Amino acid sequence: MKLACVVGTRPQLIKAAAAWHALRRDHAPRLIDTGQHYDEEIAGRFFRELHLPPPDRQLGVGSGSHARQLAAMIDGLEPVLLDEQPDAVVVFGDTNSTLAGALVAAELDLPLAHVEAGLRSFDRRMPEEINRVVADHLAQLLLAPNEQAAANLRAEGVGAGNAASGPAAEGWRRARVGVVGDLMQDLCAATLPHVRDHSAIGEGAPEDVRDLGLASGEYLFATVHRAENRAPDAIHEWLALLGALDRSVVLALHPGTRRAMDECDCVIPPNVHAVPPQGYATTLALQLHAAAVVTDSGGVQRESAWLGTPALVLRGSTEWTATLEEHGGRSALVGRDATLAVAALERLAPRAATPGSAIRRAAEAVVSPAGADDRVSASIAAWLGA
């Protein structure tokens, strides 16, 4: 089947890369890149590192207000999908590229599959929540990463016989929900053996990380990029939080966050070492060997849970509640509250127990493949054959 896989951002390149081998084995996938992310350090490098082929179509929309960015994506996608005439459109996750792919597929009456369907933070102030709700209600094939996401869809009436496709819908139009596991877990499992050795954050790491002279368990790894954490007040708050943790923090800065920090008069605390965004394997290595992770990223929340690294989540809610539960209490939602964060860090990664616990964890971590790649591909084949 000819599949138009719409991507645009770092996590979507990573998810598409995780699925690509299975999709290419079973189908004829085409990679349509909206160009939402365009900088080498958060886009280009992942094609090479994760062996994703260059995009078949590059829309080059770039940045802008959400409305302008979305409009440019829709404008660019429509002629491309009309020209490609795919058997189905596949969208991943919850970004503006996901929403644009879903809207244009629906408008052109093309079969639509949503990978990572059903996640809910129940916070509609987040653009991602709007994007995933709309994509879920437009898609006919809803591939949920876990049972909880599937239950969220059922609670909204999405699935066989739902209001959107109509109780009498047949073939691909009949909405169906499948639990397929998490593509990012597959990639994490495959990459873990390559970063287990401490050299992945030392002599084997890119220069900007190698130069920090990191030792296992003696630093925290942080990423921050949510829109809510880019407001000037929020930046001051989470920087103060990182300062209050009073341990060495490696902060891999998304270029959008760096820009927002440059625009506000912020002072980076002396224990915080800002580095550019890193490649996939180095980011996994930095999580594995850290005493704890501090993040607002959906992907990093899950990866740290799979690796067993304690996590402080810089948000008030999360759509990855199932991951938090699986993490057995080693993740804490702390928002931007420094007092909560300091207490959670001492509870989850007590200074006295590190680096010993981190060294043991890195040596013993086991991540099982989820098999999501094969299940995504097989579910699409079954759906389109129906």
**What Å distances lie between residue 56 and 7, 59, 216, 288, 355, CA to CA?**
11, 10, 41, 34, 46
Classify residue 204 as exposed, middle or buried by CB count within 10 Å of its CB (0-12, 13-18, 19+): middle
225 is catalytic: yes
Exactly one of 137, 198, 225, 289 is catalytic; which is it?
225
Which of these ranges, 13-21, 30-38, 82-90, 344-352, lies near ligand UD1 under the rule CB under 6 A?
30-38
Does 361 participate in binding ligand UD1 (rule CB under 6 A)? no
Contact 276, 41 (CB under 8 A): yes
Separation between Cα atoms, residue 219 and residue 250, nearest integer Å: 7
Q: Are 122 and 321 in contact (CB under 8 A)?
A: no
Is there a contact between 165 and 175 (Cβ–Cβ < 8 Å)? yes
The answer to whether 162 contacts ligand UD1 (rule: CB under 6 A) is no
Chain residues binding ligand UDP by CB under 6 A are 10-11, 14, 184, 223, 225, 252, 277-280, 283-284, 297-300, 303
Contact call for residues 45 and 279 (beta carbons, < 8 A): yes
State residue 73 phi and psi, 5-degree precision: -65, -45
Which position's Cβ is nearest ligand UDP?
299
Query: Considering CB distances under 5 to 8 angstroms, the limit depending on partner class, which of ligand UD1, ligand UDP, none binds residue 277?
Result: ligand UDP
Crossing angle between the packed helical segments 232-245 and 338-348, to the nearest 10 degrees? 40
Q: Which does 96 bind (CB under 5 to 8 A by kind): ligand UD1, ligand UDP, none?
A: ligand UD1
Q: Which is nearer to ligand UD1, 95 or 148 (CB)?
A: 95
Q: Which is nearer to ligand UD1, 186 or 296 (CB)?
A: 296
Instruction: Count the helix, strand and coil residues of the chain and give each as a percent rounded to the nearest 5.
Output: 50, 15, 40
CB of 87 to ligand UDP, least distance (A): 27
Query: Judged by CB under 6 A, does residue 128 bind ligand UD1?
Result: yes
Please state the closest distance from residue 335 (CB atom) to ligand UD1, in A: 17
Q: What are the catalytic residues?
A: 225
Kindly list the residues in this chain that would bind ligand UD1 in the complex (CB under 6 A): 9-11, 36-39, 42-43, 63, 94-96, 127-128, 225, 254-256, 259
